[in-house]
Amino acid sequence: MTALTEYQRLESTGLWRETPDSQRREVVISLGDATLVISTMAETALSHWSLPAVKRLNSGKIPALYAPDGEADELLEISDTDMIDAIERVRNAIEKRRPHPGRLRLWLGAFLSLITLLICIIWLPGALTRQTAEMLPAASRTDIGQSILAEMADLSGRPCAGPGGVSSMRDLSRAVFGPQAPQIIVLPSTAQTTASLPGNIIVVNRALVEDYEGPEVLAGFLLIEDLRRRLRDPMLHLLEQSGLMATGRLLTTGEIDDSHLRAHAARLLTTPPVSVDLPLVLARFERAGVSTEPYAYAIDLTGESVLDLIEGDPMRGRLRAPLMTDQNWIALQEICGG
């Protein structure tokens, strides 16, 4: 059925040719419900064409040329625009009703391509960065950390290296962290108190060593920084800020451009560190056996903004051995030659 009721019966004249060698003759064309009937002027039927099979041979041109199918010898020439419009509308209606398996494959292919593109844009960069950070050997992490430290030294001054102070800092790190203690480096001038570098390195501002009466404040800042580096791998932090190209180069060549290290060093020295949730802080201090109270008052002398740290001190009323002797603390305070 054509589904076009206004064209269920329409007639016009045209020119019809049965074979390529035949003479064209004038005929009557009748557009029926599902067929195109070609008749003589005396209404003798010459041919019946199935509308679903009718092909137009010169789209958009007048007179229109039609064939009963793609391989037929018959040819019909129509100049009547009403008839042409009717045939085209019927053909379009029939075409829309045909199954289009190729169209489904096209839409499915486009959908899968879009999903693949989104994966590449959203998931792949992060996955590649995480994979690279996880695969990097410890020796490479240490080398990169030392390179960042060298860039920091150019910006803030050479690390403090008083012999007695370096030894005392090593002892303090072991007392706070145990066997896997990080290397603690004191820098003479930084805008921030602490920062973590790849290779198990933590840098601290000399003020944490020189401005307090005991090592508990320094130990507190070190524990907070330890939480930060556990929540966000310093190597991953570097790669995220350096970008996908730098990550790809590190993965393939084992090298990262000095410009990325220099920019990262500058950010670490100047960007305020992220905060850490209170429950994590209290649990970490308790595992280390360090009081939160000295750290809290170092942040706020009034104690008003750090009341939770003071009241939640896991070591309140509990005794533990000093983190280091007074003699070693004095040596540590002189690490920068003060």
306 has pLDDT over 60: yes
> Between residues 95 and 223, which one has the greater pLDDT?
223
Write the CB contacts of 90 (distance below 8 Å, at least 6 apart in sequence).
2, 4, 7, 31, 51
Lowest-confidence region among 10-19, 103-112, 291-300, 324-333: 103-112
> Between residues 215 and 90, which one has the greater pLDDT?
215
256 has pLDDT over 80: yes
> Between residues 94 and 286, which one has the greater pLDDT?
286
- Predicted pLDDT at 55: 86
Lowest-confidence region among 74-83, 91-100, 317-326: 91-100
4 has pLDDT over 60: no
- Predicted pLDDT at 92: 80
Write the CB contacts of 166 (distance below 8 Å, at least 6 apart in sequence).
335
Tokens standing for 232? 């966000």
- Predicted pLDDT at 10: 82
308 has pLDDT over 50: yes
Q: Is 242 exposed, middle or buried (0-12, 13-18, 19+ CB in 10 A)?
A: buried
CB-based contact 40:27 (threshold 8 Å): yes
Average pLDDT of the segment spanning 104-124: 63
- Predicted pLDDT at 338: 58
Residue type, 163: P
7 has pLDDT over 60: no
Query: Is the omega angle on the peptide bond into residue 63 within 30 degrees of 0, that is, cis?
Result: yes
- Predicted pLDDT at 255: 87
209 has pLDDT over 90: yes
The most confident of 2-6, 15-19, 80-84, 166-170, by mean pLDDT: 166-170
For the chain, the average pLDDT equals: 86
- Predicted pLDDT at 36: 85
Lowest-confidence region among 57-66, 113-122, 260-269, 288-297: 113-122
Average pLDDT of the segment spanning 36-59: 85
2 has pLDDT over 50: no
328 has pLDDT over 60: yes
Residue type, 64: A
Task: Compute CA distances 301 → 55, 207, 210, 251, 310, whole Å.
Answer: 91, 16, 17, 47, 12
Dihedral-angle region of residue 17 (phi above 0 means left; psi in -120 to 50 means alpha; beta otherwise): beta
The distance from CA 32 to its chain's CA centroid, rounded to whole angstroms, is 59
Tokens standing for 205? 């501002």
Q: What is the pTM of this model?
A: 0.66
Whole-number percent of the chain with pLDDT over 90: 48
Report pLDDT digits (tens) over 231-253.
999 999 999 888 888 888 888 88
193 has pLDDT over 60: yes
- Predicted pLDDT at 103: 61
Task: Compute CA distances 38 → 28, 31, 74, 330, whole Å.
Answer: 6, 9, 11, 114
**What is the 8-class DSSP label of residue 39?**
E
The β-bridge partners of 9 are none
- Predicted pLDDT at 291: 95
Using DSSP's 3-state secondary structure scheme, residue 300 falls into: coil
- Predicted pLDDT at 198: 96
194 has pLDDT over 70: yes
The per-residue b/e assignment along 1-28, b for 16 or more CB within 10 angstroms, e otherwise, is ebebeebeebebebbbbbeeeeeeeebb
